[in-house]
Structure 1
Amino acid sequence: MTMPEMARLLMITRDQVYNILNQKRNKGLFEFVYIADQRRITKESFERWHAGQEKYCKLCDKPESEIAAMERKQQEMEKPRLQVDKTKEVFTLQEAAVLLDVTYKDVRKLVLTGELEAKKYGTKYLISKDDIKWFVFQRELEREN
């Protein structure tokens, strides 16, 4: 069993799995095997550990209503991608990030370094449609060369 498989089975993060594996009281409980140079936990040692603890519940042991509630919570946490009206003449940094398919921080860095032209109005930067088109055009030329 891989660490991500264990995380999915217990509905916890990979970091939490590694914390479990590194706890002193769990040392020696888990048996590991190497498959294709990757460390795996044996299912038998996982089952022994699981039977001897009360904190974590396997996904298959949880009632369907609890699983559905957890899935809803996870979906709520995932923010929908910002929808951008491409017919606008100017865009905020967030909208430019969506149009350029990069992060907000990347767009801000491009503006601050002067690679992407933007006008500052108060505390906000606005980027014109033409400047975004020019930036994309330059990037495409760079990729071709």
Structure 2
Amino acid sequence: MNQVVVEETSFEEVLSEIEENSKYKRLPPKEKTWMTVPEMGILLGLKKTGRYWLVQKNYFECREIAGQMRVNIASFEKWYANQVKYHKVNGEEPGKNLKKWSYSISEVAKMLGISGTTVYDLIKRDGIKTVTVDYWIRIPKKSFQEWYEKQSKYRTQKDREKDKELEGTTITMPEMARLLGITRGQIYEILKNSKYSHFFETVVIAEKKRITKESFQKFLEGQDHYKLDPANDYEELSMEQNFSLANYRRKKLAKTGDRSKNGNLSYLTFDEAAFLAKVSRGMIYKWMDDGKFSAVKIGNISRVKRDEFEAWLEERKGN
């Protein structure tokens, strides 16, 4: 005799099947497309007057439904993404679309490391195009980029870092003049002279023309008329970028006429150490007594070990 096996069905499964086949089954809730003005006000943290002031400005679609003024949510969100004056209490950032294509004055100031007042001056002076949104002036990113590429004085932090690296491989016109022992005017004449101009490679940093060290060296090797200034023996020092110290030594040499009063590539006088650290000579002695760095006796003269002192000075600046 064959037995009929009846599968057990859970109550939940039966109920689910009934609901699925029923004409009264639940429909998924529709997405909310309208909200009341009070709901909008609560969302923005506005009181009654502020809520209806916004409604009257027609920033977003409003409609009377069932005798009550309502705000279209999609229209409201579009407005919210294109303004920065009002903020939702839930912390959602406003102006997302606005920020995609424009900068605020404070954003430009921060990028360039300048004040907001200077940004306004640049807008007026250079004719940078702006737009006004909710009484706030903003600069379209395209307009900013066009202006930025036409000048080199104002730089972003990223470009300032690049410029700093580039400065290490170049020299200014005054530095070149000091190295050759001639005037700045003569430098410009050299650069204009077709006999020498082909040697030089120039770059512009912060609206100042600079000569690459490599091309300057080619100039020195490729002609016999101009040589490094024989009045001093600090050419190597100058070429290693410490122009301020080289210039300090030149001035002292011109004043005293005695080379022994200056240091050299390995040692510094106490005056030179004070000059580099921007402190008094007495402070240099104090630091030395505290063991910050050491000095050596060269004949009857004491000198500070330059590499040791500069390393300590860099460490001190870092702290």
Give the shorter-chain TM-score range.
0.3 to 0.5
Higher relative contact order (CA 8 A, sep 6+): 1
TM-score normalised by length of structure 2: 0.20
TM-score normalised by length of structure 1: 0.41
